[in-house]
Structures are given as C-alpha cells and as structure tokens.
Amino acid sequence: MTTTDRPDTEDAGQPRASVKPSGPRESSTGGIRTLERAFAVLELLGSAETGMTLSAIAQKINLPIGTTHRMLKALTAHGYVEQDLRTKWYELGLKVMELRGSVIMQAVRMAAEVRPYLRTLSLQTGLRCHLAIYRGGNVIYIDRVDSGSEGTAYVPLGLQAPAYSTGLGKVLLAYAPPEEVEALLASKGRQKFTKNTITDPTELRKELSLTRQRGFAIDHGESSEFRSCIGAPIFDYRARAIAAISVATTVEEVTRRAPELESIVVATARAISDHFGFRSTGDGTIAGSVPPDPRTAMVNG
C-alpha cells in the first residue's frame, strides 16, 4: 500500500518524515473526520425548513446510508438530534438549543413542564400542538406533540417564523410591551406569504386588539394558504405572556370546529398559566397589569 492510498485512520507508529502536519481544518484522523461529519449533519438540519429523511441527509452530506445512520443514532442518543416517530424524519434536538445560553435553557425547562398539557390538548383535539416563545419579532417553536392527523405541515423544533404571520406570534405580540410592538410595526420588509398575510401596520393593530379582546389568535391561512392554527397565551406570576400554545390543522377544519377548538386551547393555556403562578382578577383583567393602551390595545409586559 502506498502513502497516498493509506486508509484515513490514526497510524499506530511514528509519522513518516515526508508527512507534514496538517492544518486544524484538515481531517488527519478518524476522530476529526467523524466530528466534521457530525457538524455537517447538524448544520444541514439547522438550515432545513422541515425535518429530513435518512436518505436525504446521506445524499446531502455525500455519505453512505449506513455511515449516516450510525452518526444520526449517536447524535440522537445524546439529544442533539431527534427523530419524529411517525414520519421517521430527523431534526435538531433540544440539546442543541441548550448550548445557546440561559434563555434557551429556560425555554427547554418550560417545554418539559408544559409537555403534559400539550399531550392532553393533542388527545382532546386530535391535532398537532405547538409551544413557542417570542424573540426579536419572531416566534421560536420549542416543543411539539404530534397526532395521527395529516392536517398540518411538519414544523421542526427551533424553527423561527415571523410573529405577524402566525397564530402563536400574533397572540404573543398582542400581549407584548407597546413600544416593542410599535418598533416592529415601524420596520419595513414584512413579507406577504399568502393573500391573507397581514402586513399593514394599521390592520395589524386591529388584529392584535381583537386578539386581546377574545384571548386567542387565529392564523387564517396567513403563513401557509391552506393551513390554520389557534393560539392562546401563557402568563407567568408577573402577568407576562411568556409563551403560547396552539393547535394546527387545515383552514377548513379550524373553520368547522372553531368554537370547540377555541374553548379547549384557551382553557389549556389558562391551566398552564396557573401552573406558572398566574392569577387573573374577577373582572377578567390581568392581575398586576396596566390598563390596555386605547390605541394599540396591548398590555405592558
């Protein structure tokens, strides 16, 4: 065997005099190559809009199916990758979000506490349920409970979506500090994903006002033409909207089951809020909150 066709493994002996040390980015050992492949998988899943199949991942990173499967199995065992048990697709796991700092750590802990409520909500409605938080104009999906329903698109954990175009985002914007919402509305470049996406600032203010009045938000095919969801806020002991939950399905099913779904989602969100120490006043207002601004109809957080 010549030097050029030597396998890419760590040599048990001393390096040959003709071999120069490699740079830090080169795969001089099997361990480094494995690490680089793992990073490639994580970067690929992190950039994907949906989960990915084993074959799709193997094709994208140009590795055999068997090698890719072993790598995914190891990453899954450590929590960096998760596999949807129904679709068998892979996505980034919560462990990746844990590495992003204390804010995400709090989100991870919240997801663990909310998960039993999401499971019950999914069983009650037969629909896919989501948990999300608001950050910088976007909602970040931090947990999901699937059902047997095919009525909604797959949403990978960690996905960020513009708040103004989703039920989860609109309900969190409705209870966000007015100055934060006004800054968002003053910004340019809001994309119109469907004909129903609300991008006009005046119309968005009206929508957020309506959301506060009824206590939930509806995505009327605003992020995807044929998909809809109903979202309700989760409050903490300081009466801050810290997250939101939703059920998602087709526009047709949401329209047909609207009263039922609205009632169940709101009741579940209230139960979760109680779990986090929230209390409301007898007249339906939020304890500890300020009166809503008459123009924006939003509460200070």
DSSP state of 280: B
What is the CATH topology of the domain spanning 30-92? Arc Repressor Mutant, subunit A (1.10.10)
Residue 38 · residue 75 · CB < 8 Å: yes
Amino acid at 41: V
Q: What is the pLDDT of residues 155-197, one digit of tens each?
A: 556 778 889 999 999 999 999 999 889 988 888 778 899 999 9
Structure tokens of 157?
């954990």
Please give the Cα distance from 75 to 27 (Å, whole number).
Answer: 20
* Cβ atoms of 248 and 130 closer than 8 Å: yes
CATH T-level assignment (fold) for domain 101-275: Beta-Lactamase (3.30.450)
CA–CA dist 290, 74 (Å, integer): 50
Per domain, the residue ranges of the chain are 30-92, 101-275
pTM higher than the cut 0.85: no
Amino acid at 212: R
Helices (H) and strands (E) in the chain, counts: 9, 8
Lowest-confidence segment of 22-31, 32-41, 270-279 by average pLDDT: 22-31
- What's the whole-number average pLDDT of the chain? 79
The count of other CB atoms within 10 Å of the CB of residue 237 is 13
Count of Cβ atoms closer than 10 Å to residue 103 Cβ? 12
Query: What is the pLDDT at residue 137?
Result: 87
